[in-house]
Amino acid sequence: MLFFTCVLLHELAHSLVALRFQIPVRGITLFIFGGVSHIAHDARSPRAEFLIALAGPVTSLLLGIIAAAAYWLLHGQNEAAAMICFGLAYVNVSLGLFNLLPGFPLDGGRLLRSMIWFAGDDFAWATRVAARAGQITAVCLIAAGAYLIVTEGQRALLNGLWISFIGWFLLQAAARTLTSTLLLHELDGVVARDVMRTNPPLVTADQPLSDLATLLLRQSTPRPISRPP
């Protein structure tokens, strides 16, 4: 419970900074790998992206330092409480450092995207680079887990499988996030009027659906989306 409270504070830090930049936050979900803040849309500037992404790892590292200080104060007086603080210090520092890995959609990947975005002024290209970095990071984690299992055997089986599973999860997440982020970016500002047919085909109520399908296929003429100025 204490660990998930720390994860919640990590995500709250992201959310509060997002709200500071007037980006709505729909909620926070906690799951086995940590948590995620459901922010309504991507940041509108590299600076906002950088600060929102940085807030989470900084919070985790600060919590780790506080827990380490509590361990130092309690050590020798209350060993049970001291060991809880030691565990919290370890997991929070690990969480903060892991999230700083330069792979999208981790916080480190978003930091990388914000810097590339700032340097090149191209959100789509920055997203692609950060996602590729995420996939490379994921493959390295999978390879590290496999190497641990091969070299250490039974002693490192659980840790190796866990590291590889995290890598696999990150690999899938990077691909999904890349697709959805670029799609939403392309559709930003597009309304129904921009893509609808101005003269839709008319049919009678008793006309077979096969005729309608043939008519639609015959009249289907893809056209580019017109963006508002």
Tell me which residues are annotated as active site: 11
In a 3-state reduction of DSSP, which class is residue 60?
helix
Tokens of 161: 């499988």
Q: For residue 105, give the nearest of 182, 159, 158 by alpha carbon.
A: 182
What distance lies between CA 97 and its chain's CA centroid?
15
Euclidean distance between CA atoms 63 and 76, whole angstroms: 22
Sign of CA dihedral 84, 88, 91, 93: negative
What distance lies between CA 82 and its chain's CA centroid?
33
Sign of CA dihedral 23, 21, 49, 191: positive
Total Cβ atoms within 10 A of residue 125: 13
Residues in the chain: 229
E strands within the chain?
25-31, 34-39
8 Å CB contact between 134 and 109: yes
Q: For residue 13, give the nearest of 95, 101, 82 by alpha carbon.
A: 95
